[in-house]
Chains A and B, each alone.
Chain A
Amino acid sequence: MSRREGVLAWVPFVVLIALAIIYIAPFVVQIVNSFRPDADVAREPLSLGIMSWTAAAYERLFTRSDFPLWTMNSFIVTLCVTVGRVFFVSLAGYSLARIPFRGRGFVYALLIAVMAVPGVVLLIPKFLVINQLGIYDSYAGMIIPLLADAAGVFIMKNFFESIPVAVEEQARIDGAGVFRTFWSIVLPMSLPAVMTIVILSFQGSWNELNHFIVSTQSTDLTTLTKGVAQLASGQLSQGSQFPIKLAAALLMTIPVAVVFFIFQKRIMNVGAGAVKE
């Protein structure tokens, strides 16, 4: 390797570091400014010099705002959706992967078609259906529509297909019913796929905004996404008040960030899996 090449080999690394700084800096700026007084943030957004620290924004969020209520709602909805989705999606995936029944091809085609419908096109019609069913502005209306998704069914179906059939045949010979076989033999073997669904639906429902916009209106049912969105558009405050907004945005990111850092490897391989299937 010539000397020129030796120097050139460092160029990509330097570029990467510069890019990493660009990707990380916004979050650092966010954390720092959420702990500063309003006036300072407006005047000197990047100054790290003479600065006063304050937790006033956080104090206000927790003691004089609906932030705790939003957090509770987000947790309720996310937990219900995640548990329900794992169950329904893996049941359906198992059926499509393993049980030959009349109409399976049709169900499969239907799911493919559904995946092609863009989400924002459904905003108005979803409201219409939720309203007709009488579950508008209730936890039921927030949770039930999110309980199944076609992509999850496919992930589970693909995984189940990779498990050797012999395992189930033994159970069947031993007299176990279809559900028994699924529940106590196949599902425990599918932990990696189940975790993938857990992560995806946790992230998805925690970050969900537009479904809650069209399915609720009362303040009691406001989730973090909806609440912070209102905060951002200034419906709840006057002036810019960046620290409190930044603090709220930061806090709402923590649960998904925690899940992300715990399951990093698996999350980043979900992307890889999507290509291979």
Chain B
Amino acid sequence: MIASRPPRGSIHGNRAVAGWLFVTPAIVIIGLFVLVPVVMAAWVSMSDWSGIGPPFAEGVNFVGADNYAELLGGTGLATRDLGTALRNNLFYVLLVVPIQTAVSLGLAILVNRKVMRARGFFRTAFYFPSVTSSVAIVVLWLFLFSATGPVNKVLSWVWIEGPNWFQDPRGIFHIAFGAFGVTGQDNPLSGAMFLGISGWDWVSGPSVAMSAFILMAVFTTSGTFMLLFIAALQQINAEVEEAAMTDGANGWQRFRYVTLPMLKPIVFTVVTLGLIGTWQVFDQIYVGTQGGPAKTTLTPAYLSFNSAFNNQDWPRGAAIAFILFAIIVVLTALQRLWIGRTEVGR
């Protein structure tokens, strides 16, 4: 090999070429399986493609926002299904995000105490469910929450007769209202319709079946978020706490007025990640309930999949996917505005 040194300019040229060569495989793969799909689906959602032949072929027509209008403005089954899926997922988000944030913060604080013994053991115990596949966890959950399963067995020890969880479509808020004699009959809410769903049905709360999935989400994600909180807690300067201690603040005051405000950015991150994640409920439904009982575990992600792959209505499936995409983008943006921060965790 000749070790002559090439002129300077050529080194730069070579390096630039190498730079592009190095990123090309990753960019091609990501472009081909993320960017191209998004563009393609955007087109399909505004077309009348039947699923036969390529979607860009001649004979596939542009129908504008028709598919979206049918979903959002109609009164038919499509609108009702989307409304139901949005309602189900909304209650899932409203319950899972606060609970998992609180639980993971609580776990992190408990595990991170200085006097703590066997810290590693507890961290492992809480994090392990996050490592296992959603499929395996759903299988386990279907067993735990079956009619004569372990959860109901434990409930029976304290004289509670557990429901048949995954077969029970009753909304838990409806059950609570029912305890006070409030029902859907002659209820003023029953008249108001939105997305094909009556007002009364909008306030049903998650069904008992969905509640089991809510518990599962907390079980499987609290460990991951606990790690984020532990990392943040460790970063919080010990000096700041010491300063507070000399001021005579007790443990709770130190936590409330020193630690908690400093945790704000990481809480924001966890809530954002939670919001993004909880709107994408798919695996659980695909494996566990396929939307049942009585469509109360139907979610937009599963509805989109089902419309396309099982009912061959590709434009509708793609349109639902984009509605879901929009929801996630808008929520994340709103949250950023609300908190008034653009860069967090850096």
Binding site for B on A (CB under 8 A): 9, 12-13, 15-16, 19-20, 23-24, 26-27, 29-30, 33, 42-43, 45-46, 88-89, 91-92, 94-96, 99-104, 107, 110-111, 114, 116-130, 132-133, 144-145, 147-150, 153, 175, 177-179, 182, 203, 206-207, 209-210, 213-214, 224-225, 228-229, 231-233, 240, 242, 245-246, 248-250, 252-253, 256-257, 260, 264, 267-268, 271-272, 274-277
Contacts and interface: CB of A to CB of B under 8 A. Distances in A.
Interface string B123-139: 11111110111111111
A232 B280 contact: no
Interface of B: 3, 5, 14-20, 22-23, 25-27, 29-38, 40-41, 44, 54-55, 107, 110-111, 113, 115-117, 120-129, 131-140, 142-144, 146, 148-150, 153-154, 219, 224, 227-228, 230-232, 234-235, 266, 269, 276, 279-280, 282-283, 286-288, 290, 301, 304-305, 308-309, 314, 317-318, 321-322, 324-325, 328-329, 345-346
Given A99-B16, A124-B305, A210-B282, A271 B224 contact: yes
A175 B3 contact: yes
A231 B3 CA distance: 63
B25 A88 contact: yes
A91 B23 CA distance: 7
B285 to A, nearest CB: 11
A46 B153 contact: yes
Contacts of A267: 127, 131
A144 B34 CA distance: 12
B252 to A, nearest CB: 12
Nearest to B27: A107
Given A209-B135, A249-B140, A45 B153 contact: yes
Contact of B135 (A94, A229, A264, A276): A229
Contacts of B20: 95, 101, 103
Given A121-B322, A148-B26, A249-B140, A102 B16 contact: yes
Nearest to A128: B40
A227 B25 CA distance: 31
Contacts of B110: 12, 15-16, 19
